[in-house]
Structure 1
Amino acid sequence: MSRIVVIGDVIDDILVTPHGPIRRDTDTESDIVYAQGGSAANVAAWLGHLGAPVDFYGRVGSGDAARHTATLAAHGVRALIEEADDRPTGRIVILLDGDSRTFLNMGGANRDLPVDVLTDERLMGAAAVHITGHSMLEPWRLARVPDLLGRTRRLGIPVVLDPSSAGFLRDVGVDNFLAAVAGVDILLPNRDEAEALTGLDDPEVAARALTAVAPTVIVTCGADGSYVAEDPARMQSRVRVSHVPAEPAHVVDPTGAGDAFAAGFHAAVRRGLSPVDAAAAASTIAARAVTLSGARPPAP
């Protein structure tokens, strides 16, 4: 069975849910949960949970590879995680307030992971490659992405790109980002990322505009569903945009919902579903994810 190759961030999450408004310069009683995360690693975990063969490539600090490898392996992921001697494992503090989240991020060893760790040998026979925007945080890595896309194109492997962070897009420069990722097959931004990339606050219009970058674009909008824009002939006058409703769910923790959606989309496309039907299937997985605490599926 053809595997899906995922490359990107693996993180130690610290999830903080204050019991009330945060009081400056004194204590605020909170629930604090430690978990393993990272957008790319979360996608891999959900893919394994859904039964898809998946390889994950990432980088952590010295001494942490075995811990993260074992956790992903429990979900059926073959994790090939390098260790960095001079950087710690990436960490993120996530402040949860209902549906709102604030991220305090330290990239750590993730910032040294080159995309060219995906050699032709490691790519051979893959059904798809999934890249997160966090994988391209540094300009030197962004410059290597066109080479990776050229090699996947020669090998006939579609690439799905999740921009991952509207703040990151603004930091690295939208024009720089779009120039580097031109040629991806599927772009998977959320509403904020689509607005950052286009300057358009209407997700349907933004999805249509982004087909200039990728022939298939899915803009996820949380409880408002998603917009699937398709331009297979690469003729902007013939873009088809479909709205896919979200699956109703009781939200416990929205962290990782987009990663679960991405995994559900990959798994559905791999079964032969169209992008619109795959987005509908992915909405079901995302709805399941928000009922859980943390960004990954339950441990087996």
Structure 2
Amino acid sequence: MISVVGHTAIDHIFTLPKLPERHNSVPVLDHKIYFGGGAANIAAGIAVLGGDAVLISAVGKDFENSNYDKWLKELGVSGSFFVSEDKNTATCYLFNDTRGDQTTVFEWGASELFKTEDAPALEFVHMATSDPEFNVRVAEKAEFSSFDPGQDLIKYTKEELISIIGNIDILFANQHEVKRMCDKTGIKKTDFLKNIPVSVITMSEEGSELHVNGNTFRIPAIPVKLEDPTGAGDAYRAGFLTAYKKGCSEETCCKIGTTTASFAVEKTGCQTNLCDWNRMLERYKKYFGEL
């Protein structure tokens, strides 16, 4: 069982000709609403791949029996929810321009409950975007944990980052997030990565980089037609963690994560093109050989 802690959200995805400059406006080319939230995306991805996932999240009263609630149940995701009496489920506004740049605005809503709820003691947990203090407490209690800071990195203090990094087994982050974590903690990148058993750094179209046991491996991205980059990182984590629970090596897990991410970017929305294990295997063999 893989527990996933963090946001469940409704995604509003906008396509713009370009991101607006200060005091300027731009027209909206497209606007659609999708199921999202980093933790929910990862839990959904694990379930579609055939893994057992429990989503530990915060939602509003609007969530129960909603289409999103029914969707997760259909996928086989078990839910353990904190329910807000006065705030709706979190909402994420994502603005993508035609050059591939993105800006995100996030309304926490019911996710504010993470600040006051008790952190569970979990055997195997991934901490996605969530309240920093809650994630710190989860990491302290967990037997095995992985972590990605995502857009909530700006909310972490230096002390919270040092605490959580000292308690995790796997870090997932993109190259920009690694730089910001190093700047915030005052730790050089080489020393920062040495403190974590396994680190996976994603680099968009340049693929990803694995740091484990003092070794570095580069995993190329799979070339596909990019429709929407939203959710690629979550799909990568879902693939990696599912493979890790199956006993695959870290390098193989990265290749599987790369493969699952390649499906996610082919359609708009984080959960619209999740692949099952057999679809993943077919594409994996084409680019990486036999599993």
5 Å-filtered alignment, 1:1-300, equals 3-19=1-17, 28-67=27-66, 68-97=68-97, 98-113=99-114, 117=118, 119-120=120-121, 123=122, 126=123, 128-132=124-128, 134-137=129-132, 139=133, 141=134, 145-146=136-137, 148-153=138-143, 158-165=144-151, 168-199=152-183, 206=189, 208-231=190-213, 239-298=214-273
TM-score, normalised to structure 1's length?
A: 0.81
**Compared with structure 1, are the counterparts of its residues 74 and 151 closer, same or farther at alpha carbon in structure 2 (3 Å cutoff)?**
same
Are the aligned partners of 2:82 and 2:113 in contact in 1 as well (CA < 8 Å)? Answer: no
- Distance in 2 (CA, whole Å) between partners of 1:170 and 1:25 is 25
Describe the superposition over 1:188-217 as per-residue Cα deviations: whole angstroms up to 9, x where unpaired.
Answer: 1111111111249xxxx84x4333432111
| Structure 1 residues 213 and 20: alpha-carbon distance in aligned structure 2, compared to 1, 3 A threshold | closer
Q: What TM-score results when the alignment is normalised by the length of structure 2?
A: 0.83
Q: Which amino acid aligns with 2:223?
A: P
Percentage identity across paired residues of the two chains: 24
Deviations 1:234-281 (A, max 9, x none): xxxxx1111111111111000000000000000111221111111011
Q: C-alpha displacement at 1:185, in angstroms? A: 0.4
* Counterpart position of 2:284: none
State the SS of the aligned residue for 1:88. coil
Q: Which stretch of the first structure deviates more once superposed, 184-193 or 54-63?
A: 54-63
Q: 1:50 to 1:297 in 2, by over 3 A?
A: farther
2:142 aligned counterpart, secondary structure: helix
- The number of equivalent residue pairs is 269
Q: Deviations over 1:27-68 (max 9, x none)?
A: 724211011101111001111111111111111112323323
Decide whether aligned partners of structure 1 residues 83 and 228 sit closer, same or farther in structure 2, where only a CA change above 3 A counts: same
> What is the letter of the counterpart of residue 180 of structure 2?
A
Query: Separation in 2 of the partners of 1:282 and 1:25?
Result: 38
* Offset of residue 174 of structure 1: 3.5
8 Å contact kept, 2:14–2:94: yes
* Deviation for aligned residue 1:82: 2.9
Q: Which runs of 5+ in 2 are unaligned?
A: 276-291
Secondary structure in structure 1 of the residue aligned to 2:41: helix
Give distance in 2, aligned partners of 1:117 and 1:66. Answer: 25
C-alpha change, 1:278 and 1:116, in structure 2 (3 Å) is farther
Please give the root-mean-square deviation of Cα atoms over the aligned residues, in Å: 2.5
Secondary structure (helix, strand or coil) at the match of 1:283 reads helix
Structure 1 unaligned segments of length 5 or more: list them: 232-238
* Partner-residue secondary structure (3-state), 2:173: coil
Q: Which moved more, 1:67-76 or 1:102-111?
A: 67-76
> Whole-Å Cα distance in 2 between the matches of residues 223 and 25 of structure 1?
30
